[in-house]
Protein backbone atom coordinates (compact mmCIF):
# COMPACT_ATOMS: atom_id res chain seq x y z
CA UNK A 1 0.00 0.00 0.00
CA UNK A 2 1.38 3.39 -0.93
CA UNK A 3 1.40 6.39 1.34
CA UNK A 4 -0.93 8.19 -1.04
CA UNK A 5 -3.47 5.40 -0.80
CA UNK A 6 -3.16 5.37 3.00
CA UNK A 7 -3.88 9.07 3.23
CA UNK A 8 -6.97 8.73 1.07
CA UNK A 9 -8.32 5.80 3.08
CA UNK A 10 -7.68 7.65 6.34
CA UNK A 11 -9.59 10.66 5.09
CA UNK A 12 -12.54 8.53 4.01
CA UNK A 13 -12.63 6.84 7.39
CA UNK A 14 -12.69 10.14 9.20
CA UNK A 15 -15.60 11.30 7.10
CA UNK A 16 -17.55 8.11 7.78
CA UNK A 17 -16.94 8.43 11.54
CA UNK A 18 -18.10 12.03 11.50
CA UNK A 19 -21.29 11.18 9.64
CA UNK A 20 -22.03 8.32 12.04
CA UNK A 21 -21.51 10.49 15.08
CA UNK A 22 -23.82 13.19 13.66
CA UNK A 23 -26.54 10.66 12.94
CA UNK A 24 -26.29 9.25 16.49
CA UNK A 25 -26.53 12.72 18.04
CA UNK A 26 -29.55 13.63 15.92
CA UNK A 27 -31.43 10.48 16.79
CA UNK A 28 -30.58 10.82 20.48
CA UNK A 29 -31.74 14.43 20.54
CA UNK A 30 -35.01 13.62 18.82
CA UNK A 31 -35.72 10.77 21.12
CA UNK A 32 -35.07 12.74 24.29
CA UNK A 33 -37.24 15.81 23.43
CA UNK A 34 -40.18 16.34 25.85
CA UNK A 35 -42.94 18.99 25.28
CA UNK A 36 -42.36 21.48 28.06
CA UNK A 37 -45.51 23.35 29.15
CA UNK A 38 -45.59 27.08 28.23
CA UNK A 39 -47.35 29.57 30.51
CA UNK A 40 -48.50 32.71 28.75
CA UNK A 41 -50.20 35.84 30.03
CA UNK A 42 -51.88 38.73 28.37
CA UNK A 43 -52.99 42.11 29.70
CA UNK A 44 -56.66 43.03 29.90
CA UNK A 45 -57.29 45.86 27.45
CA UNK A 46 -60.07 48.04 26.12
CA UNK A 47 -61.53 47.92 22.66
CA UNK A 48 -64.76 48.18 20.69
CA UNK A 49 -66.47 44.84 20.33
CA UNK A 50 -69.51 44.00 18.25
CA UNK A 51 -71.70 40.94 17.96
CA UNK A 52 -72.62 40.16 14.37
CA UNK A 53 -75.27 37.74 13.05
CA UNK A 54 -74.76 36.39 9.53
CA UNK A 55 -76.98 34.72 6.96
CA UNK A 56 -77.41 34.56 3.23
CA UNK A 57 -80.28 34.98 0.84
CA UNK A 58 -81.20 36.34 -2.56
CA UNK A 59 -81.91 39.85 -3.75
CA UNK A 60 -85.59 40.56 -4.28
CA UNK A 61 -87.76 43.65 -4.84
CA UNK A 62 -89.50 45.19 -1.84
CA UNK A 63 -92.79 44.91 -3.74
CA UNK A 64 -94.03 43.10 -6.83
CA UNK A 65 -97.18 43.94 -8.76
CA UNK A 66 -98.90 41.39 -10.97
CA UNK A 67 -101.03 43.08 -13.62
CA UNK A 68 -104.04 41.13 -14.91
CA UNK A 69 -106.70 41.74 -17.52
CA UNK A 70 -109.16 43.02 -14.93
CA UNK A 71 -112.69 42.93 -16.47
CA UNK A 72 -111.93 43.44 -20.14
CA UNK A 73 -112.36 40.15 -22.00
CA UNK A 74 -111.20 39.49 -25.53
CA UNK A 75 -108.10 38.91 -27.63
CA UNK A 76 -104.96 40.95 -26.98
CA UNK A 77 -104.43 43.46 -29.80
CA UNK A 78 -100.96 44.80 -28.92
CA UNK A 79 -98.24 44.37 -26.29
CA UNK A 80 -95.93 47.31 -25.64
CA UNK A 81 -94.42 45.95 -22.40
CA UNK A 82 -90.98 44.37 -22.75
CA UNK A 83 -88.84 42.45 -20.30
CA UNK A 84 -86.53 44.73 -18.34
CA UNK A 85 -88.40 47.88 -19.36
CA UNK A 86 -88.64 50.73 -16.86
CA UNK A 87 -92.24 51.95 -16.65
CA UNK A 88 -93.97 54.76 -14.83
CA UNK A 89 -97.38 54.66 -13.20
CA UNK A 90 -100.10 55.01 -15.83
CA UNK A 91 -97.88 53.90 -18.73
CA UNK A 92 -99.62 51.65 -21.26
CA UNK A 93 -98.60 47.99 -21.17
CA UNK A 94 -100.98 46.37 -23.68
CA UNK A 95 -104.36 46.73 -25.37
CA UNK A 96 -107.27 44.28 -25.51
CA UNK A 97 -110.03 44.16 -28.13
CA UNK A 98 -112.77 46.39 -26.63
CA UNK A 99 -115.69 44.89 -28.60
CA UNK A 100 -117.13 42.93 -25.67
CA UNK A 101 -116.73 45.86 -23.31
CA UNK A 102 -118.34 48.25 -25.80
CA UNK A 103 -121.36 45.95 -26.24
CA UNK A 104 -121.72 45.62 -22.48
CA UNK A 105 -121.65 49.39 -22.13
CA UNK A 106 -124.33 49.81 -24.80
CA UNK A 107 -126.59 47.32 -23.02
CA UNK A 108 -126.07 48.99 -19.67
CA UNK A 109 -126.81 52.41 -21.16
CA UNK A 110 -130.00 51.13 -22.77
CA UNK A 111 -131.15 49.71 -19.47
CA UNK A 112 -130.40 53.01 -17.78
CA UNK A 113 -132.44 54.89 -20.38
CA UNK A 114 -135.38 52.51 -19.91
CA UNK A 115 -135.49 52.69 -16.13
CA UNK A 116 -134.97 56.45 -16.27
CA UNK A 117 -138.07 56.82 -18.48
CA UNK A 118 -140.07 54.62 -16.12
CA UNK A 119 -138.81 56.63 -13.19
CA UNK A 120 -139.94 59.87 -14.86
CA UNK A 121 -143.44 58.48 -15.33
CA UNK A 122 -143.53 57.32 -11.74
CA UNK A 123 -142.37 60.71 -10.58
CA UNK A 124 -145.12 62.48 -12.58
CA UNK A 125 -147.74 60.18 -11.08
CA UNK A 126 -146.32 60.64 -7.64
CA UNK A 127 -146.29 64.39 -8.07
CA UNK A 128 -150.04 64.28 -8.92
CA UNK A 129 -150.68 62.22 -5.81
CA UNK A 130 -148.77 64.72 -3.72
CA UNK A 131 -150.77 67.59 -5.18
CA UNK A 132 -154.08 65.82 -4.51
CA UNK A 133 -153.01 64.99 -0.97
CA UNK A 134 -152.02 68.59 -0.41
CA UNK A 135 -155.47 69.74 -1.57
CA UNK A 136 -157.21 67.21 0.68
CA UNK A 137 -155.20 68.39 3.66
CA UNK A 138 -155.99 72.01 2.88
CA UNK A 139 -159.74 71.19 2.58
CA UNK A 140 -159.70 69.32 5.88
CA UNK A 141 -157.95 72.17 7.63
CA UNK A 142 -160.38 74.70 6.10
CA UNK A 143 -163.42 72.64 7.14
CA UNK A 144 -162.01 72.27 10.64
CA UNK A 145 -161.48 75.99 10.92
CA UNK A 146 -165.06 76.76 9.68
CA UNK A 147 -166.58 74.24 12.03
CA UNK A 148 -164.63 75.62 14.93
CA UNK A 149 -165.81 79.15 14.17
CA UNK A 150 -169.50 78.21 13.77
CA UNK A 151 -169.60 75.97 16.81
CA UNK A 152 -167.86 78.56 18.92
CA UNK A 153 -170.54 81.10 17.89
CA UNK A 154 -173.34 78.66 18.71
CA UNK A 155 -171.89 77.92 22.13
CA UNK A 156 -171.46 81.63 22.78
CA UNK A 157 -175.12 82.36 21.81
CA UNK A 158 -176.38 79.56 24.02
CA UNK A 159 -174.25 80.81 26.89
CA UNK A 160 -175.62 84.31 26.39
CA UNK A 161 -179.24 83.02 26.58
CA UNK A 162 -178.46 81.15 29.81
CA UNK A 163 -176.92 84.27 31.29
CA UNK A 164 -180.08 86.26 30.39
CA UNK A 165 -182.27 83.58 31.94
CA UNK A 166 -180.32 83.74 35.18
CA UNK A 167 -180.82 87.51 35.28
CA UNK A 168 -184.55 87.16 34.61
CA UNK A 169 -184.84 84.53 37.32
CA UNK A 170 -183.18 86.82 39.82
CA UNK A 171 -185.49 89.68 38.88
CA UNK A 172 -188.58 87.48 39.19
CA UNK A 173 -187.52 86.26 42.56
CA UNK A 174 -187.30 89.88 43.76
CA UNK A 175 -190.69 90.99 42.41
CA UNK A 176 -193.61 91.15 44.93
CA UNK A 177 -196.48 88.71 44.60
CA UNK A 178 -199.85 90.54 44.05
CA UNK A 179 -202.56 90.08 46.66
CA UNK A 180 -205.10 88.95 45.76
CA UNK A 181 -203.67 87.08 42.77
CA UNK A 182 -205.48 87.74 39.47
CA UNK A 183 -207.21 84.82 37.89
CA UNK A 184 -204.79 84.81 34.93
CA UNK A 185 -201.72 85.43 37.04
CA UNK A 186 -198.60 83.40 36.11
CA UNK A 187 -195.76 82.95 38.56
CA UNK A 188 -192.80 84.84 36.99
CA UNK A 189 -190.25 82.80 38.98
CA UNK A 190 -191.59 79.52 37.59
CA UNK A 191 -191.65 80.92 34.07
CA UNK A 192 -188.04 82.18 34.40
CA UNK A 193 -186.90 78.84 35.80
CA UNK A 194 -188.50 76.93 32.91
CA UNK A 195 -186.78 79.16 30.35
CA UNK A 196 -183.41 78.76 32.09
CA UNK A 197 -183.75 74.98 31.99
CA UNK A 198 -184.45 75.02 28.25
CA UNK A 199 -181.55 77.32 27.46
CA UNK A 200 -179.14 75.28 29.62
CA UNK A 201 -180.09 72.20 27.62
CA UNK A 202 -179.39 74.09 24.39
CA UNK A 203 -175.96 75.21 25.74
CA UNK A 204 -175.08 71.62 26.63
CA UNK A 205 -176.08 70.46 23.17
CA UNK A 206 -173.94 73.19 21.55
CA UNK A 207 -170.93 72.29 23.67
CA UNK A 208 -171.27 68.56 22.88
CA UNK A 209 -171.63 69.38 19.21
CA UNK A 210 -168.51 71.51 19.39
CA UNK A 211 -166.45 68.69 21.02
CA UNK A 212 -167.58 65.96 18.62
CA UNK A 213 -167.03 68.13 15.57
CA UNK A 214 -163.54 69.16 16.73
CA UNK A 215 -162.59 65.47 17.17
CA UNK A 216 -163.95 64.60 13.72
CA UNK A 217 -162.13 67.49 12.06
CA UNK A 218 -158.88 66.58 13.85
CA UNK A 219 -159.09 63.02 12.55
CA UNK A 220 -159.75 64.26 9.04
CA UNK A 221 -156.71 66.58 9.13
CA UNK A 222 -154.52 63.80 10.51
CA UNK A 223 -155.64 61.39 7.78
CA UNK A 224 -154.99 63.99 5.08
CA UNK A 225 -151.56 64.75 6.54
CA UNK A 226 -150.62 61.04 6.56
CA UNK A 227 -151.75 60.68 2.97
CA UNK A 228 -149.61 63.65 2.00
CA UNK A 229 -146.54 62.14 3.71
CA UNK A 230 -147.05 58.84 1.94
CA UNK A 231 -147.39 60.58 -1.39
CA UNK A 232 -144.24 62.59 -0.79
CA UNK A 233 -142.28 59.44 0.13
CA UNK A 234 -143.53 57.69 -2.96
CA UNK A 235 -142.47 60.65 -5.07
CA UNK A 236 -139.04 60.71 -3.50
CA UNK A 237 -138.41 57.02 -4.17
CA UNK A 238 -140.18 56.78 -7.50
CA UNK A 239 -137.74 54.85 -9.74
CA UNK A 240 -134.73 55.97 -7.70
CA UNK A 241 -133.39 52.54 -6.71
CA UNK A 242 -133.68 51.20 -10.23
CA UNK A 243 -131.98 54.26 -11.69
CA UNK A 244 -129.16 54.04 -9.15
CA UNK A 245 -128.58 50.37 -9.93
CA UNK A 246 -128.63 51.01 -13.66
CA UNK A 247 -126.24 53.95 -13.32
CA UNK A 248 -123.84 51.78 -11.32
CA UNK A 249 -123.94 49.20 -14.10
CA UNK A 250 -123.06 51.90 -16.64
CA UNK A 251 -120.18 53.14 -14.50
CA UNK A 252 -118.85 49.59 -14.20
CA UNK A 253 -119.13 49.03 -17.93
CA UNK A 254 -117.27 52.27 -18.60
CA UNK A 255 -114.49 51.18 -16.25
CA UNK A 256 -114.28 47.80 -17.96
CA UNK A 257 -114.00 49.51 -21.33
CA UNK A 258 -111.24 51.78 -20.03
CA UNK A 259 -109.36 48.73 -18.72
CA UNK A 260 -109.02 47.40 -22.26
CA UNK A 261 -106.07 49.78 -22.41
CA UNK A 262 -104.08 48.08 -19.66
CA UNK A 263 -101.81 50.57 -17.89
CA UNK A 264 -99.19 50.09 -15.20
CA UNK A 265 -100.57 50.84 -11.72
CA UNK A 266 -97.08 51.51 -10.33
CA UNK A 267 -93.61 52.57 -11.39
CA UNK A 268 -90.96 49.88 -11.62
CA UNK A 269 -89.17 47.37 -13.82
CA UNK A 270 -90.98 44.76 -15.91
CA UNK A 271 -89.67 41.40 -14.77
CA UNK A 272 -92.12 39.09 -16.56
CA UNK A 273 -94.34 39.34 -19.65
CA UNK A 274 -96.69 36.49 -20.49
CA UNK A 275 -99.10 38.45 -22.72
CA UNK A 276 -99.00 37.66 -26.44
CA UNK A 277 -100.92 39.21 -29.32
CA UNK A 278 -104.04 37.20 -30.12
CA UNK A 279 -104.27 35.45 -26.77
CA UNK A 280 -107.66 35.58 -25.10
CA UNK A 281 -108.08 37.25 -21.74
CA UNK A 282 -110.91 37.06 -19.26
CA UNK A 283 -111.80 37.23 -15.58
CA UNK A 284 -112.66 39.72 -12.93
CA UNK A 285 -109.37 40.37 -11.20
CA UNK A 286 -107.48 43.59 -10.91
CA UNK A 287 -103.87 44.58 -10.61
CA UNK A 288 -102.59 44.32 -7.08
CA UNK A 289 -99.28 44.61 -5.27
CA UNK A 290 -97.70 43.06 -2.25
CA UNK A 291 -94.46 42.86 -0.31
CA UNK A 292 -91.96 40.21 -1.26
CA UNK A 293 -91.82 37.07 0.79
CA UNK A 294 -89.18 34.36 1.09
CA UNK A 295 -88.60 30.72 1.75
CA UNK A 296 -85.72 29.98 4.07
CA UNK A 297 -83.09 27.32 3.69
CA UNK A 298 -80.71 25.51 5.99
CA UNK A 299 -77.42 26.88 7.29
CA UNK A 300 -78.74 30.39 7.61
CA UNK A 301 -79.56 30.78 3.92
CA UNK A 302 -82.88 31.72 2.36
CA UNK A 303 -84.38 32.33 -1.03
CA UNK A 304 -86.66 35.24 -1.85
CA UNK A 305 -89.76 35.04 -3.97
CA UNK A 306 -92.10 37.84 -4.98
CA UNK A 307 -95.55 37.63 -3.51
CA UNK A 308 -98.37 36.54 -5.72
CA UNK A 309 -101.28 38.90 -6.27
CA UNK A 310 -104.95 38.05 -6.38
CA UNK A 311 -106.57 38.55 -9.73
CA UNK A 312 -108.23 37.04 -12.75
CA UNK A 313 -106.91 34.31 -14.96
CA UNK A 314 -105.15 35.58 -18.02
CA UNK A 315 -103.87 34.32 -21.33
CA UNK A 316 -100.95 32.70 -19.51
CA UNK A 317 -102.90 31.49 -16.51
CA UNK A 318 -101.21 34.05 -14.29
CA UNK A 319 -100.43 37.75 -14.54
CA UNK A 320 -100.06 39.29 -17.97
CA UNK A 321 -97.23 41.55 -16.80
CA UNK A 322 -95.19 41.50 -13.60
CA UNK A 323 -93.64 44.75 -12.34
CA UNK A 324 -91.00 44.80 -9.61
CA UNK A 325 -89.99 47.77 -7.49
CA UNK A 326 -86.28 47.64 -8.31
CA UNK A 327 -85.78 51.04 -6.73
CA UNK A 328 -86.22 49.39 -3.33
CA UNK A 329 -84.35 46.11 -2.99
CA UNK A 330 -84.11 43.75 -0.06
CA UNK A 331 -82.90 40.35 1.00
CA UNK A 332 -84.93 37.89 3.03
CA UNK A 333 -82.59 35.49 4.82
CA UNK A 334 -82.98 32.82 7.48
CA UNK A 335 -81.15 33.70 10.70
CA UNK A 336 -80.57 31.17 13.44
CA UNK A 337 -82.86 31.11 16.45
CA UNK A 338 -79.98 32.18 18.72
CA UNK A 339 -79.33 35.26 16.56
CA UNK A 340 -83.02 36.21 16.45
CA UNK A 341 -83.08 36.73 20.22
CA UNK A 342 -80.83 39.77 19.80
CA UNK A 343 -82.25 41.13 16.55
CA UNK A 344 -84.79 43.90 16.13
CA UNK A 345 -85.97 46.27 13.37
CA UNK A 346 -83.71 49.16 12.32
CA UNK A 347 -80.49 47.37 13.24
CA UNK A 348 -77.74 48.10 10.72
CA UNK A 349 -76.52 45.51 8.25
CA UNK A 350 -73.78 45.12 5.67
CA UNK A 351 -73.96 43.15 2.43
CA UNK A 352 -71.52 41.35 0.20
CA UNK A 353 -72.44 39.78 -3.12
CA UNK A 354 -70.36 36.76 -4.22
CA UNK A 355 -71.21 37.29 -7.89
CA UNK A 356 -69.92 40.88 -7.92
CA UNK A 357 -66.30 41.95 -7.99
CA UNK A 358 -65.30 43.19 -4.56
CA UNK A 359 -63.73 46.66 -4.62
CA UNK A 360 -61.90 47.39 -1.38
CA UNK A 361 -62.15 51.14 -1.98
CA UNK A 362 -65.89 51.12 -2.69
CA UNK A 363 -68.41 52.27 -0.12
CA UNK A 364 -69.80 49.39 1.89
CA UNK A 365 -73.30 48.26 0.91
CA UNK A 366 -75.49 48.76 3.96
CA UNK A 367 -79.10 48.42 5.01
CA UNK A 368 -81.44 47.93 7.94
CA UNK A 369 -83.53 45.17 9.39
CA UNK A 370 -87.11 45.75 8.23
CA UNK A 371 -89.02 42.89 9.82
CA UNK A 372 -88.55 39.58 11.61
CA UNK A 373 -90.95 36.72 10.96
CA UNK A 374 -92.90 35.33 13.90
CA UNK A 375 -92.79 31.77 12.58
CA UNK A 376 -89.74 29.65 11.85
CA UNK A 377 -88.76 26.98 9.40
CA UNK A 378 -86.67 23.88 10.06
CA UNK A 379 -84.34 22.21 7.59
CA UNK A 380 -82.00 19.34 8.50
CA UNK A 381 -82.66 20.06 12.16
CA UNK A 382 -81.64 23.73 11.85
CA UNK A 383 -84.26 26.29 12.97
CA UNK A 384 -84.19 29.65 11.20
CA UNK A 385 -86.43 32.71 11.07
CA UNK A 386 -86.90 34.77 7.89
CA UNK A 387 -85.61 38.30 8.39
CA UNK A 388 -86.21 41.02 5.80
CA UNK A 389 -83.27 43.43 5.39
CA UNK A 390 -83.46 46.45 3.09
CA UNK A 391 -80.55 47.49 0.87
CA UNK A 392 -79.88 51.21 1.19
CA UNK A 393 -77.23 51.63 -1.55
CA UNK A 394 -77.33 48.69 -3.96
CA UNK A 395 -74.51 48.48 -6.52
CA UNK A 396 -75.47 49.49 -10.04
CA UNK A 397 -74.66 46.01 -11.34
CA UNK A 398 -76.78 44.19 -8.75
CA UNK A 399 -79.49 41.95 -10.21
CA UNK A 400 -82.63 40.39 -8.80
CA UNK A 401 -82.07 36.88 -7.52
CA UNK A 402 -78.33 37.25 -6.95
CA UNK A 403 -76.88 35.74 -3.79
CA UNK A 404 -76.17 38.06 -0.89
CA UNK A 405 -74.35 37.58 2.40
CA UNK A 406 -75.69 39.66 5.27
CA UNK A 407 -73.99 40.72 8.48
CA UNK A 408 -76.27 42.35 11.04
CA UNK A 409 -74.72 44.08 14.01
CA UNK A 410 -76.85 42.94 16.95
CA UNK A 411 -74.84 44.47 19.81
CA UNK A 412 -71.92 46.89 20.18
CA UNK A 413 -69.83 47.93 23.19
CA UNK A 414 -67.35 50.81 22.90
CA UNK A 415 -64.29 51.09 25.15
CA UNK A 416 -65.12 47.72 26.66
CA UNK A 417 -62.80 45.51 28.71
CA UNK A 418 -62.00 42.53 26.49
CA UNK A 419 -60.08 39.31 26.95
CA UNK A 420 -59.36 36.33 24.71
CA UNK A 421 -62.37 34.02 24.81
CA UNK A 422 -60.08 31.03 25.42
CA UNK A 423 -59.00 32.62 28.71
CA UNK A 424 -62.53 32.34 30.12
CA UNK A 425 -63.44 29.14 31.90
CA UNK A 426 -67.12 28.25 32.27
CA UNK A 427 -68.39 25.83 34.89
CA UNK A 428 -72.15 25.69 35.03
CA UNK A 429 -73.25 29.30 35.36
CA UNK A 430 -69.91 30.43 36.80
CA UNK A 431 -67.30 32.06 34.61
CA UNK A 432 -63.75 32.80 35.69
CA UNK A 433 -60.27 33.72 34.47
CA UNK A 434 -56.88 33.11 36.08
CA UNK A 435 -55.35 36.41 37.16
CA UNK A 436 -51.52 36.43 37.47
CA UNK A 437 -50.10 38.83 40.01
CA UNK A 438 -46.61 38.78 41.59
CA UNK A 439 -46.05 35.35 40.11
CA UNK A 440 -49.18 33.89 41.72
CA UNK A 441 -52.22 32.71 39.77
CA UNK A 442 -55.69 33.37 41.27
CA UNK A 443 -58.98 32.15 39.74
CA UNK A 444 -61.25 35.21 39.58
CA UNK A 445 -65.01 35.19 38.94
CA UNK A 446 -66.13 37.42 36.08
CA UNK A 447 -69.37 38.33 34.30
CA UNK A 448 -69.22 38.60 30.56
CA UNK A 449 -71.07 40.38 27.82
CA UNK A 450 -70.57 40.29 24.06
CA UNK A 451 -68.45 37.54 22.52
CA UNK A 452 -67.23 37.89 18.96
CA UNK A 453 -64.21 36.94 16.85
CA UNK A 454 -62.45 35.15 19.69
CA UNK A 455 -62.84 38.02 22.12
CA UNK A 456 -65.17 38.34 25.10
CA UNK A 457 -66.34 41.47 26.88
CA UNK A 458 -65.81 41.43 30.66
CA UNK A 459 -68.40 43.41 32.64
CA UNK A 460 -67.17 42.78 36.18
CA UNK A 461 -64.23 41.10 37.93
CA UNK A 462 -61.28 42.60 36.03
CA UNK A 463 -59.58 45.93 35.50
CA UNK A 464 -57.66 47.27 32.57
CA UNK A 465 -54.04 46.12 32.69
CA UNK A 466 -54.67 43.00 34.77
CA UNK A 467 -52.51 40.09 33.62
CA UNK A 468 -54.51 36.97 32.90
CA UNK A 469 -53.31 33.50 32.08
CA UNK A 470 -53.88 31.88 28.70
CA UNK A 471 -54.09 28.12 28.26
CA UNK A 472 -50.70 26.39 28.07
CA UNK A 473 -49.36 25.41 24.64
CA UNK A 474 -46.61 22.78 24.16
CA UNK A 475 -43.20 24.28 23.32
CA UNK A 476 -42.91 21.91 20.36
CA UNK A 477 -45.99 23.57 18.89
CA UNK A 478 -44.93 27.10 19.74
CA UNK A 479 -42.33 29.30 18.05
CA UNK A 480 -40.04 29.74 21.06
CA UNK A 481 -38.14 27.58 23.58
CA UNK A 482 -38.60 29.52 26.82
CA UNK A 483 -41.06 28.61 29.55
CA UNK A 484 -41.70 32.09 30.93
CA UNK A 485 -43.89 34.68 29.20
CA UNK A 486 -44.99 38.25 29.77
CA UNK A 487 -48.18 39.83 28.43
CA UNK A 488 -48.13 43.24 26.87
CA UNK A 489 -51.73 43.61 25.72
CA UNK A 490 -53.68 42.81 22.51
CA UNK A 491 -51.77 42.97 19.28
CA UNK A 492 -53.33 43.79 15.93
CA UNK A 493 -56.77 42.44 15.34
CA UNK A 494 -56.23 39.48 17.67
CA UNK A 495 -54.86 39.06 21.16
CA UNK A 496 -51.16 38.87 20.31
CA UNK A 497 -48.38 41.06 21.61
CA UNK A 498 -47.21 38.54 24.27
CA UNK A 499 -43.36 38.39 24.15
CA UNK A 500 -41.90 35.02 24.98
CA UNK A 501 -38.28 34.14 25.83
CA UNK A 502 -36.55 32.84 22.75
CA UNK A 503 -39.19 34.04 20.24
CA UNK A 504 -42.30 36.10 19.45
CA UNK A 505 -45.90 34.78 19.09
CA UNK A 506 -48.44 36.67 17.02
CA UNK A 507 -52.18 36.38 17.53
CA UNK A 508 -51.98 35.25 21.14
CA UNK A 509 -54.66 32.61 20.72
CATH architecture group of domain 40-47+416-504? Beta Barrel (2.40)
Burial of residue 73 (CB within 10 Å: 0-12, 13-18, 19+) is buried
The pLDDT value recorded for residue 66 is: 94
Q: Which fold has domain 101-247?
A: Helix Hairpins (1.10.287)
The pLDDT value recorded for residue 497 is: 38
Is the overall model pTM greater than 0.85, yes or no? no
In whole angstroms, give the CA distance from residue 40 to residue 28: 29
Query: Are 384 and 302 contacting, i.e. CB atoms less than 8 angstroms apart?
Result: yes
In whole angstroms, give the CA distance from residue 264 to residue 273: 13
The pLDDT value recorded for residue 38 is: 57
The pLDDT value recorded for residue 283 is: 53
Contacts of 226 (CB under 8 A, 6+ apart): none
pLDDT by position in tens, the chain (length 509): 433 333 334 443 443 334 343 333 333 333 333 444 557 899 999 999 999 999 999 999 999 999 998 889 999 999 999 999 999 999 999 999 999 999 999 999 999 999 888 888 888 888 888 899 899 999 989 999 998 999 999 999 999 999 998 988 888 888 888 888 888 888 888 888 998 999 899 999 989 999 999 999 899 999 999 998 998 888 777 767 888 899 999 999 999 999 999 999 999 999 999 999 999 987 544 344 444 443 333 333 333 333 433 333 334 446 899 999 999 999 999 999 989 999 999 999 999 999 998 888 889 999 999 999 999 999 999 999 999 999 999 999 999 999 999 999 999 999 999 999 999 999 999 999 999 999 899 999 999 999 988 999 999 999 999 999 998 764 444 433 333 433 444 443 344 433 333 333 333 33
In whole angstroms, give the CA distance from residue 283 to residue 287: 12
Query: Are 292 and 330 contacting, i.e. CB atoms less than 8 angstroms apart?
Result: yes
The pLDDT value recorded for residue 179 is: 84
The pLDDT value recorded for residue 189 is: 85
In the chain, where the domains are located:
40-47+416-504, 101-247
Calculated CA dihedral for residues 211, 212, 218, 224, nearest 10 degrees = -160
The pLDDT value recorded for residue 344 is: 94
The pLDDT value recorded for residue 187 is: 84
In whole angstroms, give the CA distance from residue 140 to residue 155: 22
Strand order from edge to edge, sheet including 92-96: 261-263, 92-96, 74-79, 280-281
Helix pair angle (99-174, 188-237), 10° resolution: 170
pLDDT tens for each residue of 460-488 = 999 999 999 998 764 444 433 333 433 44
427, 492, 426, 405: which is closest to 453 by C-alpha? Answer: 492
pLDDT tens for each residue of 235-275 = 777 767 888 899 999 999 999 999 999 999 999 999 999 99
Amino acid sequence: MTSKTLVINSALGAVILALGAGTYLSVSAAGSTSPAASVRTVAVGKATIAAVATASGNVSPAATTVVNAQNCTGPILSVSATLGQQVSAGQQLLTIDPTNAQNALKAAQAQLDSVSAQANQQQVSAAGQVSSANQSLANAQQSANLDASQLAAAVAAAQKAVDADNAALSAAQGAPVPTPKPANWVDPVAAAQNQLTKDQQLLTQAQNQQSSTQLKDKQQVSTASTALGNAQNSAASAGGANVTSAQLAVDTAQGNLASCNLNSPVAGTITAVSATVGALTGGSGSASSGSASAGTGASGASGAAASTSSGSSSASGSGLVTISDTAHLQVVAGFSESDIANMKPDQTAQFTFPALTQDATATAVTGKVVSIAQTSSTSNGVVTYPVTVSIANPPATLRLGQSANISVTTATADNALVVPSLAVTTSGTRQSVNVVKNGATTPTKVTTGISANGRTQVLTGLSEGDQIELPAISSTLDSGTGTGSTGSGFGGAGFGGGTRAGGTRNGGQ
